């Protein structure tokens, strides 16, 4: 069976579009096909500067990423979805903190794992959290003498 030039060009373009789509997902670090993570929630009083997709680290090692960040006006807090590698087991006495990478770097979540509480299951919430340090307000207080 003989195919025309249009068929071969169409097939070539289709393969190119699929390849570009795959590379965009891989290089953009999108995780739409990932089945190796589970979700926990964390309740913070302040998550200034934290963005969706930010890394989650345990002992300085990447352990997952930040999902959706939402405002919970009823409970006066910010709810953050954390997607962690399935191999990681956390307990309900762990502590999640918003940290800054370097002096003025991006924000990320650091988890100090516990070990004596109940094991957290997918969908559970980490309530023991530490919000981000507001460097601008600290500098302002120091500069204008409000450091009591």
Pairing of strands 55-58, 107-112: parallel
What pTM, to 2 d.p., does this model score?
0.69
Task: Decide if pLDDT at 95 tops 60.
Answer: yes
- Statement: residue 90 has pLDDT above 60: yes
Instruction: Report how far residue 136's alpha carbon sits from residue 121's, in angstroms, rounded to the nearest whole number.
Output: 37
CB contact at 8 A, 96 and 131:
no
Residue 135 has pLDDT above 60, yes or no: yes
Write the pLDDT tens digit of every residue in 100-113: 887 777 889 999 98
Phi, psi of 137 (to 5 degrees): -70, -35
What DSSP element (H or E) covers 141? helix 135-143
How far does the chain reach from its first CA to its final CA, in angstroms?
86
Q: Give the pLDDT band (50/70/90) at residue 82.
A: very high
d(CA 72, CA 28): 29
Residue matched to tokens 């988890």: 111
């Amino acid at each position: 069976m003989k195919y025309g030039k249009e068929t071969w060009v169409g097939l070539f373009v289709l393969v190119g579009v699929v390849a570009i789509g795959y590379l965009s997902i891989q290089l953009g670090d999108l995780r739409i096909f990932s089945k190796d993570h589970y979700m926990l929630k964390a309740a913070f009083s302040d998550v200034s500067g934290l963005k969706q997709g930010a890394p989650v680290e345990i002992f300085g090692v990447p352990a997952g990423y930040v999902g959706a960040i939402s405002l919970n006006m009823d409970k006066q807090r910010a709810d953050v979805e954390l997607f962690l590698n399935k191999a990681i087991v956390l307990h309900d006495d762990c502590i999640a903190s918003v940290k800054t990478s370097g002096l003025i770097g991006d924000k990320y979540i650091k988890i100090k794992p516990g070990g004596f509480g109940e094991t957290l299951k997918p969908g559970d919430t980490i309530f023991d959290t530490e919000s981000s340090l507001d460097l601008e307000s600290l500098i302002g207080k120091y500069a204008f003498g409000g450091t009591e």
